[in-house]
Structure 1
Amino acid sequence: MQISVIIPVYNEQENLVKRLSFLSDQANKFPIEIIVSNSPETSDNSPKICKNFDKVRYLQSEKKGRAAQMNFAASKAKGAVFLFLHADVQLPEDFYNQVKTSISIGNKAGFFAYKFDKNSFLLNVNSKFTTKDGFFAGGGDQCQFFTKEVFKSLNGYNEDFCIMEDFEMIDRVRKCKVRYSIIQSKAIASARKYKNNSWLKVNLINGYVFFKYKLGVDPIKLRKMYKSLLRESV
């Protein structure tokens, strides 16, 4: 079973080197397709970095935004399963076998629990919530994956969402009663938001923006709101 790992990027050259080194090693062991979908607004050396990895397919998206970049890459992907990865998230060593097993027992979608690259009590509390299904589960850094058929049946990510596109997608997965799993082999997410802001501030902002999303606030307004409140690019 081939898995297409799709990475939407926007000025992520430092993280990209780490992700592509790991994924290239994995692609020597398993049938993994690696696709980088670059934003048209990227101004760093991401294209040159991709050329250094012969197992990486570099695509230049015509549209900006993670949803558009992921959909574009998915339209070119060859794998039976699509796995969407943020550039600042490290997949676990056994991710291929974990996804393969999940699909083989009847799941059509899923996502990973994660821990942070910084060890602290409060961040460990956050990561604990990613191990279980619930109101906030499935989005953010949880590395969603889908069979190609299910992804197409859901019409991919909603490109009207310039933020919260992953939560909107998992909401549709639940609404359509697609069977999914939460892989307990943890990915490693970056704690950079928490380094630039306090733990309390990040969680209050995330909760507030998520609540506004659930109320149906326009995604463009949500993005502006998030950027104004948090010292972090979106």
Structure 2
Amino acid sequence: MEPTLNVSVIIPTWNESRLLPDTLERLKGIAPYEILIGDGGSDDDTQDIAERHGVRCIASARGRAVQMNAAAGQAQGDLLLFLHADSHLDEAGFQRMVAVMKRGRHIGGAFSLEIDSPKPALRTISRLATLRSRYLNLVYGDQGIFVLPEVFRELGGFSPLPICEDLDFFRRLKKRGRTVLLRESISTSARRWHAEGLVWTTSRNILIASLFLMGFSPTRLSKWYPPKR
């Protein structure tokens, strides 16, 4: 019998009651081993939604890195998959991840990015983001980072940064061992682009990442990126 690979899906949340139900319903269709929510003190229905879906909700201080670390500390699976509340992964992508990680050649990886919008400009941004990840090793959290739990613990989890914790973690992961960027995509909401404008949102994202890599303070950079989308 082929060995199984139990996947723990970890979702950081803060006031995500509008999109979380759809995300959890889709995940239930994929049927991972467990779903854990790391909540940063939501004052909407986020925690009630998790309870109604039979999903464990781990409370922590606010901050995506802190929330993901708290939930990961409770995970029991053989693989950790960090998924944003406004991102969706289909069955084919999930099974591809499992198949690749079962081979034992990689310690982690991420998916390609697909922004959920028919607009040609956003489709172009999606393609460029995937190329950025593949050739520059700059992977964002909305690409669904996955990692072996023992490696996650060895790396100390996500650094408690107010922003760019995903870029920091994947760069450290890449240095630790072999990673993979799957051709299968995660679909992420276009809500930031719709709310704040395509040019501004894209330019700001590039600037924040560039300044972070140059050593600028994440605390200062986080002021340009409001948490509520």
Work out whether the TM-score is over 0.5. Answer: yes
The question of 1:200 aligning with 2:199 is answered yes
Instruction: State the identity %.
Output: 30
Q: 1:14-57 CA distances to partner (integer Å, 9 max, x unpaired)?
A: 11101111112222xxx5211111112x1101111112112x11
**Number of the residue aligned with 2:116:** 117
Contact 2:115–2:190, Cα closer than 8 Å, also in 1:
yes
The question of 1:219 aligning with 2:214 is answered no
Q: Distance in 2 between matches of 1:130 and 1:213?
A: 17
**Number of the residue aligned with 2:52:** 52
**Number of the residue aligned with 1:96:** 94
SS at 1:100's partner residue? Answer: helix
Cα deviation, residue 60, structure 1: 1.4
Query: Structure 2: which 5+ runs fail to align?
Result: none
**Number of the residue aligned with 1:85:** 83
Cα deviation, residue 156, structure 1: 0.4
Q: Aligned letter for 1:12?
A: E
The question of 1:16 aligning with 2:14 is answered no
Q: Distance in 2 between matches of 1:96 and 1:198?
A: 31
Contact 2:109–2:145, Cα closer than 8 Å, also in 1:
yes
- The residue correspondences of 1:95-174 to structure 2 (distance < 5 A) are 95-105=93-103, 106-132=105-131, 133-135=134-136, 137-159=138-160, 161-174=161-174
SS at 1:156's partner residue? Answer: coil
Cα–Cα, structure 1 residues 8 and 200, in superposed 2: closer, same or farther, change >3 Å? Answer: same
RMSD of the alignment, in Å? Answer: 1.6
Q: What is the aligned length?
A: 222
Bigger shift: 74-83 or 89-98? 89-98
Q: Distance in 2 between matches of 1:96 and 1:209?
A: 30
Contact 2:137–2:171, Cα closer than 8 Å, also in 1:
no
SS at 1:116's partner residue? Answer: strand
Normalising by the residue count of structure 1, what TM-score does the alignment of the two structures yield?
0.89
Q: Distance in 2 between matches of 1:138 and 1:92?
A: 20
Normalising by the residue count of structure 2, what TM-score does the alignment of the two structures yield?
0.91
Q: 1:96-151 CA distances to partner (integer Å, 9 max, x unpaired)?
A: 31111121231111101121211121111111124341336311411100011111
Query: Structure 1: which 5+ runs fail to align?
Result: none
Q: Aligned letter for 2:74?
A: K
Cα deviation, residue 172, structure 1: 0.8
Q: Distance in 1 between matches of 2:221 and 2:136?
A: 19
Q: Aligned letter for 2:158?
A: Y
**Number of the residue aligned with 2:29:** 25
Contact 1:37–1:69, Cα closer than 8 Å, also in 2:
yes
Cα–Cα, structure 1 residues 134 and 209, in superposed 2: closer, same or farther, change >3 Å? Answer: same
